[in-house]
Each structure stands twice: as C-alpha cells, then as structure tokens.
Amino acid sequence: MKHSFDTGLEGADLLAALHETSFDRPWSQAEMRDLLASPGVRALVMSEEGEPAGFALVRAVAGESELLTLCVRPQFRRTGLGQSLLEGAEAFAAAQGAERIFLEVSERNNAAIRLYEACGYTTCGRRNAYYPDGADARILEKMLG
C-alpha cells in the first residue's frame, strides 16, 4: 500500500539517500537542503511496504514548473510508484498556478522516457552532451490543467 508525505528541510538526508539508489551522480544532502530551501520547491515522498520508496522534487514559480528529479528505489520500480509521484508533482504545480511543467531526462534512460511519454509529455528541446557520460538531455514538457 502506497503512502505519501511531504518533507521539508529535515528531509534532505532521506532525499539524498533515496537519490543515491537511482543515479550515478546523486545529489548530496547539502544540495537537497539548498533545493528544499528554494522558493516554490516541494518534495513528495512515497513509501511502500512501510519504507521510503521514492520521491519527486518539483519547483513551481511564476506560472511554470520543473520536475527537478524523480527517483524510485530499484525494488519498487514497475509498480506504478513513478507515475503516482509524477501525478503528485503535477498536482502540486497546478495548485501553484503553473500552466505547464518541464523536465530533463537522459536520452539513455529509456524507462523514464517511456513513463513520461505515457503520461503525456512531449519533447521540446535537447541539451547536447549534458550529462557526465556524454548523453544528451531531452527536455520534455506537458501542459497542465
């Protein structure tokens, strides 16, 4: 059973630990604290089987929003958790008055791209050799509401 909760600055350690399970270059506790302290930023954490399973970090400012990161621990992937986190981030952004949401994803992250496209995101740009491994970043967007 999925359970969601929001976290403030005190959640930076948890977010960093979860991020480390999903990315080769995870964000540090200090980076998470800085993001959580930024205007319009919210972290939505979901737990599964009584333990934190993933989170979405979203920023909504001035009518637009950005999904800063989304991660799901490997053992909880392909359970619908990623989609639930994405929907939660979109709902937060829309409630803050955002009309659309953007995100960046490595062109090599096929599972994430499939999720985003299935949820209505479309490619609107590209950043060449954006990631440390040389992969391009695809910029995706979705209109909200």
For 90-115, the pLDDT digits (tens) are 999 999 999 999 999 999 999 999 99
Count Cβ atoms below 10 Å from residue 59 Cβ, excluding itself.
Answer: 22
The Cα–Cα gap between 96 and 65 comes to: 9
Mind listing the pLDDT tens digit for each residue in 40-49?
999 999 998 8
Q: What is the pTM of this model?
A: 0.91
